[in-house]
Structure 1
Amino acid sequence: MYRFAPSPAGDLHIGNLQVALFNYICAKQAGEQMIVRIEDGDRARNIEGKDQEILEMLELFGISYSQLYYQSNNFKYHLQFASTLLDTKKAFICFCPHENEASACDGTCEHLSSEEVLNIPKPFIIRMKKSEHTCDSFVIMRTDKYPTYTFACACDDMLQGVTTIIREVEQEHNAPKEEHIRKSIGYEQKMHYTHVPDIQTPKDESDVKWLLDQGFMPEAIVNYLVLLSSHSPAEIFTLEEAISWFDITAISKSSAHFDIDKLRFINREHIKRIADMELSKRIGYACENIGKLAKLYTEEVSTTYEIKQKVDALFAKKEFYAEFENESKLLQELIQKAPYFDEFDAFKAYLLEASGLKEDSFLKPLRFWLSGADHSPELALLYPLIKNYLKEIVR
Structure 2
Amino acid sequence: MWFTVIRNVICPPSTIVYRTLKSGRPRVRFAPSPTGYLHLGGLRTALYNYLFAKSREGTFILRIEDTDQTRKVDGSIEALVKDLEWAGIEYEEGPGKGGCGPYVQSERLDIYQEYITKLLKNGTAYRCFCTERRLNILRRDAVKSQRVPKYDNRCRNLTNEDIKKKLTAGTPCCIRFKLTSDVQAFEDMIYGGIAYDVSLNEGDPVLMKSDGFPTYHFANVVDDHLMGVTHVLRGVEWQISTTKHLLIYRAFGWMPPQFGHLPLIVNSDGTKLSKRQCDVRVEDYRRNGIFPLALVNYITLSGGGFDHIPGAGVRLKTMDELAQEFQIRKISSHPTRNNPDLLEECNRLEIKRQMKDEELSQELINKLQNLISQKYRGQNLNVSNDHIKGVLNWALSRMTRIEDLVSNKFGFLWILPASDQQELDKELLEKLLINLESLESFDQSTLKDHLKQFSQSHNVKFPQLMKMLRAALSGLNEGPGVAEMMQLLGKGQSLERIKAVVR
Instruction: Give the TM-score band, short-chain normalised.
Output: 0.7 to 0.9
Corresponding letter in the other structure for 1:227: L
Q: Deviations over 1:250-300 (max 9, x none)?
A: 111111221112212222222222232232234344936524412423444
SS in 2 for 1:105: coil
Who is 2:335 aligned against?
255
Who is 1:196 aligned against?
262
User: Which whole-Å CA distance do the structure 1 matches of 2:388 and 2:438 have between them?
Assistant: 18
Q: Structure 1 residues 281, 357: CA separation in 2 closer, same or farther (over 3 Å shift)?
A: farther
**Offset, 1:308:** 3.4
| Residues 128 and 139 in structure 1, CA contact (< 8 A), matched pair in contact too | yes
Corresponding letter in the other structure for 1:228: S
| Residues 410 and 479 in structure 2, CA contact (< 8 A), matched pair in contact too | no
User: Which whole-Å CA distance do the structure 2 matches of 1:279 and 1:97 have between them?
Assistant: 61
User: Which whole-Å CA distance do the structure 1 matches of 2:412 and 2:42 have between them?
Assistant: 36
Q: What does 1:29-108 align with in structure 2 at a 5 Å threshold?
A: 29-68=55-94, 69-97=103-131, 104-108=150-154
Corresponding letter in the other structure for 1:78: Y
| Residues 417 and 473 in structure 2, CA contact (< 8 A), matched pair in contact too | no
Segments of structure 2 that go 5 or more residues without pairing to the other structure are 1-26, 95-102, 137-147, 184-196, 268-272, 356-360, 371-383
Who is 1:168 aligned against?
235
Corresponding letter in the other structure for 1:40: D
SS in 2 for 1:283: helix
Q: TM-score, length-normalised on structure 2?
A: 0.66
Who is 2:373 aligned against?
none
Q: Deviations over 1:183-210 (max 9, x none)?
A: 212322x411111001113522222222
Q: Which of 291, 301, 304 is the aligned partner of 1:217?
A: 291
Q: What does 1:1-395 align with in structure 2 at a 5 Å threshold?
A: 1-68=27-94, 69-97=103-131, 104-120=150-166, 121=169, 122-131=171-180, 132-133=182-183, 134-136=197-199, 137-188=204-255, 190-201=256-267, 203-230=277-304, 231-233=307-309, 235-238=314-317, 239-275=319-355, 276-285=361-370, 287=385, 289-309=387-407, 314-316=413-415, 326-327=423-424, 361=464, 365-366=468-469, 370=473, 373-375=478-480, 377=484, 379-383=486-490
| Residues 36 and 67 in structure 1, CA contact (< 8 A), matched pair in contact too | yes
| Residues 316 and 349 in structure 2, CA contact (< 8 A), matched pair in contact too | no
| Residues 169 and 197 in structure 1, CA contact (< 8 A), matched pair in contact too | yes
Q: Structure 1 residues 318, 83: CA separation in 2 closer, same or farther (over 3 Å shift)?
A: farther
User: Which whole-Å CA distance do the structure 2 matches of 1:44 and 1:316 have between them?
Assistant: 52
Q: Structure 1 residues 88, 374: CA separation in 2 closer, same or farther (over 3 Å shift)?
A: same
Corresponding letter in the other structure for 2:60: M
User: Which whole-Å CA distance do the structure 2 matches of 1:2 and 1:385 have between them?
Assistant: 57
Segments of structure 1 that go 5 or more residues without pairing to the other structure are none
**Offset, 1:62:** 0.8
Larger Rg: 2
Who is 2:19 aligned against?
none
Further displaced range: 89-98 or 191-200: 89-98
Q: Deviations over 1:170-192 (max 9, x none)?
A: 1112212222222212322x411
User: Which whole-Å CA distance do the structure 1 matches of 2:208 and 2:470 have between them?
Assistant: 70
Q: Structure 1 residues 360, 81: CA separation in 2 closer, same or farther (over 3 Å shift)?
A: same
Q: Structure 1 residues 130, 375: CA separation in 2 closer, same or farther (over 3 Å shift)?
A: same
Q: Structure 1 residues 183, 219: CA separation in 2 closer, same or farther (over 3 Å shift)?
A: same
Q: Deviations over 1:124-154 (max 9, x none)?
A: 1101111343344211011111101111111
SS in 2 for 1:19: helix
Corresponding letter in the other structure for 2:257: M
SS in 2 for 1:119: helix
**Offset, 1:326:** 2.2
User: Which whole-Å CA distance do the structure 2 matches of 1:343 and 1:171 have between them?
Assistant: 70
User: Which whole-Å CA distance do the structure 2 matches of 1:111 and 1:5 have between them?
Assistant: 35
SS in 2 for 1:326: coil
Q: Structure 1 residues 369, 141: CA separation in 2 closer, same or farther (over 3 Å shift)?
A: farther
Q: Deviations over 1:280-331 (max 9, x none)?
A: 23434493652441242344432232133366663347689xxx9823x959
**Offset, 1:78:** 1.1
RMSD of aligned residue pairs (Cα, Å): 3.7
Who is 2:3 aligned against?
none
User: Which whole-Å CA distance do the structure 2 matches of 1:270 and 1:59 have between them?
Assistant: 18
Q: TM-score, length-normalised on structure 1?
A: 0.82
Q: Structure 1 residues 211, 192: CA separation in 2 closer, same or farther (over 3 Å shift)?
A: same
SS in 2 for 1:44: helix
**Offset, 1:109:** 1.0
Q: Deviations over 1:20-51 (max 9, x none)?
A: 11111111111101011122221111111111
Q: Structure 1 residues 229, 81: CA separation in 2 closer, same or farther (over 3 Å shift)?
A: same
Corresponding residue pairs, total = 376
**Offset, 1:370:** 4.8
User: Which whole-Å CA distance do the structure 1 matches of 2:337 and 2:176 have between them?
Assistant: 38
